[in-house]
């Protein structure tokens, strides 16, 4: 066997188990349900082939189109807000932990504790905290003379309240990734910057930030994909219809309720549901593909 062949074989061996499992349990089932997008459904069995009609329906026809665009817009808000709050805070926390002040190990565990909880319990806990009758948030606001809103019941604040809960739940994860990236920066680099007179702000924004570019790539990409597949927390806190009045409706909820129906109605529609899923896939794939290129280029430039 030539060395070249041996190397190819070695690469194949490395890739094989992962590819096999992915093909059997993700790719194959997904491809067969993507096919549904081209059929009209009456009940659970695909009926007649309708070409792109389902796609046209979800993008342009009532009652689908309005919900599609509204959900997409909400997903965009979720992404932007999580980038700013969750990941911004995570970066600050990682920087604070990097200083290795006394107790930083304990803090590192604490910031990650909520991550291990299930969405069911996190959603329920924050529903209690944000509750208009007995919630602590409004009780605290009342102390400073503010009459708090029913956060999850008001169309203007409901989405924000769920985003906030998500940030609380997950902030530990990007913090950990940023911290991992920051720890790999050599001590000399940081010292040199300090000697040049860089204060913390300069350090964070001009010295460290470019050097943790690989971590940022991971965080931004996972946040993007997570934001556009967002499902569990809004499902627990706002239900399948994105209560109140669709103010918290996102693509994940919309797709799920279209395909499988709500608990009360039980009306399934795999045709339109699959069409939505295909569109979500294309959207996420294209944007994250392009985004990754930009992010990667940034990594190399540094």
Partner 1 sequence: MSVTRFGLAALLASFAWGTAEAGEVTFWTWRQEDKAVYTDLFAAFTKANPSITVKFEAFPNENYNTIVTTALAGGKGGDVLHARAYGGLEALAKSGYYLPLDKTNVPELDNLPADALASESLRADGKVYAVSLAGQTLGLMVNKDVFAGAGVKVPGTWAELLAACTALKAKGITPIANGTATPWMDAIFGTVFTNPFLGPQWTADMLAGKTNFSDAKFAAALNKLTELKPCLPDGFTGVDYATSQTLFSSGRAAIFVGGSFEIAPFRRANPKLNIDFVAPPAPEAGQPTYVSRFFDSGFAVNAKSANAADAIKLVRWLATKDFAEPAAAKLGNISSLKGVANADPVLANVAKLNETAMPYTGLVYFRYESPTGTDLFQDGVQKLMGGTMTAQQVGDAMTQGIAKYYKPFQK
Partner 2 sequence: MKGEGAKNLAIQALLLLNALVMLYPLSVMVLSAFKSNNEIFASPFALPENFAPVNVLRMWQETAFLRYLLNSIMVTLGAVVAIVVFGTMAAYAIARYRFRLSTAVFLFFLSGLMVPLKLAVIPLFIQLDRLGLIDTRLGLVLVYVAMGLPSAVFILTGFLRTLPGELEESARIEGASELRTMLQVMLPLARPAMVIAAIQNAVPIWNDFFFPLVFISSDRLKTLPQGLTVFMGEYNTDWGVLFAGLTLSALPITLVYVVLSRQFIAGLTQGAIK
Identity of the residue, 186 or 265, whose beta carbon is nearer to partner 2 in the bound complex:
186
Closest distance between partner 1 and the C-beta of residue 170, in Å? 23
Asked if residue 128 binds partner 2 (CB under 8 A), the reply is: yes
Looking at residue 197, the DSSP 8-state letter turns out to be T
d(CA 68, CA 73): 9
CB contact at 8 A, 276 and 250: no
Asked if residue 81 binds partner 2 (CB under 8 A), the reply is: no
Closest distance between partner 2 and the C-beta of residue 184, in Å? 6
Asked if residue 192 binds partner 2 (CB under 8 A), the reply is: no
Helix 172-183 with 213-228: angle, nearest 10 deg:
160
Per-residue burial over 280-295, b if 16 or more Cβ lie within 10 Å, else e, is beeebeeebeeeeeeb
Q: Which of 88, 150, 214, 261 binds partner 2 (CB under 8 A)?
A: 214
62 binds, among partner 1, partner 2, none (CB under 5 to 8 A by kind): partner 1
Looking at residue 156, the DSSP 8-state letter turns out to be T
Identity of the residue, 53 or 216, whose beta carbon is nearer to partner 2 in the bound complex:
216
Token pair of 21 as six digits: 């499992």
Closest distance between partner 2 and the C-beta of residue 38, in Å? 15
# of chain residues touching partner 2 (CB under 8 A): 86
Identity of the residue, 88 or 132, whose beta carbon is nearer to partner 1 in the bound complex:
132
Closest distance between partner 2 and the C-beta of residue 124, in Å? 7
Asked if residue 65 binds partner 2 (CB under 8 A), the reply is: no
118 binds, among partner 2, partner 1, none (CB under 5 to 8 A by kind): partner 2
CB contact at 8 A, 196 and 188: no
CB contact at 8 A, 114 and 172: yes
**Cis peptide preceding 58, ω within 30 of 0:** no
């Amino acid at each position: 066997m030539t060395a070249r062949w041996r190397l190819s074989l070695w690469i194949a061996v490395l890739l094989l188990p992962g590819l096999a499992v992915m093909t059997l349990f993700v790719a194959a089932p997904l491809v067969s349900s993507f096919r549904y997008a081209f059929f009209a459904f009456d009940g659970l069995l695909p009926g007649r082939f309708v070409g792109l009609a389902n796609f046209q329906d979800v993008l342009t026809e009532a009652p689908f189109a309005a919900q599609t665009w509204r959900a997409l817009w909400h997903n965009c808000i979720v992404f932007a807000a999580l980038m700013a709050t969750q990941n911004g805070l995570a970066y600050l926390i990682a920087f604070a932990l990097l200083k290795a002040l006394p107790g930083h190990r304990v803090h590192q565990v604490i910031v990650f504790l909520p991550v291990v909880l299930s969405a069911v319990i996190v959603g329920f806990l924050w529903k209690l905290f944000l509750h208009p009758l007995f919630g602590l948030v409004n009780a605290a606001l009342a102390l400073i003379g503010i009459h708090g809103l029913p956060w999850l019941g008001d169309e203007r604040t409901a989405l924000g309240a769920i985003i906030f809960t998500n940030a609380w739940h997950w902030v530990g994860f990007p913090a950990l990734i940023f911290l991992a990236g920051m720890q790999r920066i050599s001590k000399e680099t940081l010292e040199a910057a300090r000697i040049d007179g860089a204060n913390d702000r300069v350090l964070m924004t001009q010295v460290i930030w470019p050097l943790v570019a690989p971590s940022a790539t991971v965080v931004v990409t996972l946040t993007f994909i997570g934001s556009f597949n967002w499902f569990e927390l809004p499902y627990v806190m706002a239900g399948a219809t994105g209560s109140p009045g669709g103010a918290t409706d996102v693509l994940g909820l919309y797709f799920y309720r279209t395909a499988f129906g709500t608990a009360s109605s039980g009306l399934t529609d795999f045709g339109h549901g699959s069409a939505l899923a295909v569109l979500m896939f294309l959207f996420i794939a294209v944007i994250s593909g392009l985004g990754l290129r930009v992010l990667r280029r940034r990594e190399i430039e540094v």
